[in-house]
Structure 1
Amino acid sequence: MQSTALRFLEVSSEYRLSSNDFETTVWITDPDIEFRRATILEEHNDNVTVGFHDENGHFEKRIIPKSEVKLPSVSYFVEDMCNLSELNDACVLEAVRSRYEAQLIHTYSGLFCIVVNPWKNIPIYTKEVMEVYMHTVDRNYYHLPPHIYAVAQTAYDGLLSGNNQSILITGESGAGKTVNTKRIIEYLGAVSEYRGQFGISDGIDKRLTAAGIVIEAFANASTIYNSNSSRLGKFIRMDYDDDMIMKGAQIQTCLLEKSRVVKQNNDDRNFHIFYQLLSDGFDKDLRYSFGLGQSANAYKFLNQGGKIKDPEIDDAQGAVDTL
């Protein structure tokens, strides 16, 4: 079961064999792409001559200071950045990029878990994968492939030891903070339900997720970077009883971008709720009773960004979910 469940979390032999060209290349800084691979052709006192092929296949030489040369790592498919043979900016970025191309979106960096948004569905958040991390015998999740489930389970184990726990999820817009928060809540809910087999599990996680849908309607918006961008910060508190079963939860919000209600930048929309109110998912008679008889394009507070429809957002379905 474990090998089947984790097949999308492990490095394939194809990628593992293609990553070891460290004997002939180094990393040099590049103003266009941050770092690029190059070969040392000559060494001088304080400088080196390097050569590389650019994106068009043309061979180019450069003389650069030795201090700008970054040594490569033996492998870039390490599951923890701390295990890179050379720990520099170029190797860290290449490790994240290489794993991402292999659809390995989770990578540890010590106690942190880096998650790169794949912008597509990958079957790594299934019940089977949950059970692998939930039932690990030695409780050493770092023997398993990197995953946010391991982060959640480690926090839950801390609760079992009688210590309060915190999980911080941070990143730029579109990084996947909202989705990963949902994944962690789902996992902690599954653990609570498992422990509640011989007691009572109140399904707090499902109600917490449902509350999140309403918050997203009133506080999320489509931006140039992200179709479902959270325009506020959230602090979620989950309370457990003595049997470590989830018994309550609170969501505190802060820093809501209130100015978006009256002004949006180009290619941005107002908060989702306004477009949901004007969609087919909202009762037409009720909408008319509110004096909302026109399309979203007719309202100044909704059309300033020039984006009324977002192909990634189903306003009608969003209205149904919110209601």
Structure 2
Amino acid sequence: MTQDLLPASYDAFLSGLKERIRHAQVRAALAVNQELVMLYWQVGREILIRQQQQGWGAKVITRLAKDLQKAFPEMKGFSRTNLLYMRAFAEAYPDEQFVQQVAGQIPWFHNCTLLDKIKDPDERQWYIQQTIQQGWSRSTLIQRIESRLYHRQGEALTNFEQTLPQPQSNLAQQVLRDPYNFDFLSLGQEAQERDLEAALIRHIREFLLELGVGFAFVGSQYPLQVSGKEYRLDLLFYHFRLHCFVVIDLKTVEFEPEFSGKMNFYVSAVDDLLRGPADQPTIGIVLCKTQDHTVVEYALRDLNKPIGISTYQLKDSLPEPLKGNLPTIEELETQLNVLSVEIEEELENS
């Protein structure tokens, strides 16, 4: 059948069919992953029980790994190291229902990463939920952990409790972070506001990832006409979970009280000129190099518009003693090459 003889509805049919197949592939992959994670949890639980009740030692785990690899040569994952991860996984999550409904929704090596890097159960569960919601890769998960994202959530100083109704105020508070991590920018400490703005726009994907899920970029230097005079917003976003516009004003200096007054004006103008009937009140964020908490609290106390004050950190703003302890790029590359070889050997022997 030639292209000319195809029914007029063929392209739409093919498109819908491909989409259905993709969705089925995703569901199948998730189901396989969940089954695998559950299997590993069950194996880990059996090992844990026997270690606790019968005193199994390291030699038994080594023998078990060899016997399982011999019995199931087509299956990867029965190395001694992975069996120890299974045991740690079962010990960390004794509730089978939690594994089925939560931990089993992310890939196994994501779970291994969390076991390695996070000891607090609540923090670990938070990262699992974020991975499920945002579809983080393992490298993204590691980056978020190393940037202490859990501890930065909801830490911005705001007046949301006084200016927004519940539950909007709590939701908005959790959206903001302090500090924001801009280590993907190559800027010196003397960078001006326009330099910072231009760099963030050039790296808009990384910037959106750091802002968090829900932010959609509307524009930079966004113009507003007020009484015949033009004012420009540094950055304008819309947040689809909060259902509101978010204005960001960039400052490369320490926070000053007049910054909040200016933002109050911007938020009022956006509310009047851009906000629709279904939108929640506009939120303003002043991003500064540094801030004094007492000054911020006084500056926000009597404002009637929802405003938050956060700081940001650049790659070059790490303390000098810490810089000296960080590995060089060459050292990191060497470590990564060694790790890659070890992983390949582990897979070949598993």
TM score, norm. by length of structure 1: 0.31
Higher relative contact order (CA 8 A, sep 6+): 2
TM score, norm. by length of structure 2: 0.29
Structure of greater Rg: 2
Question: Is the helix fraction higher in 1 or 2?
Answer: 2
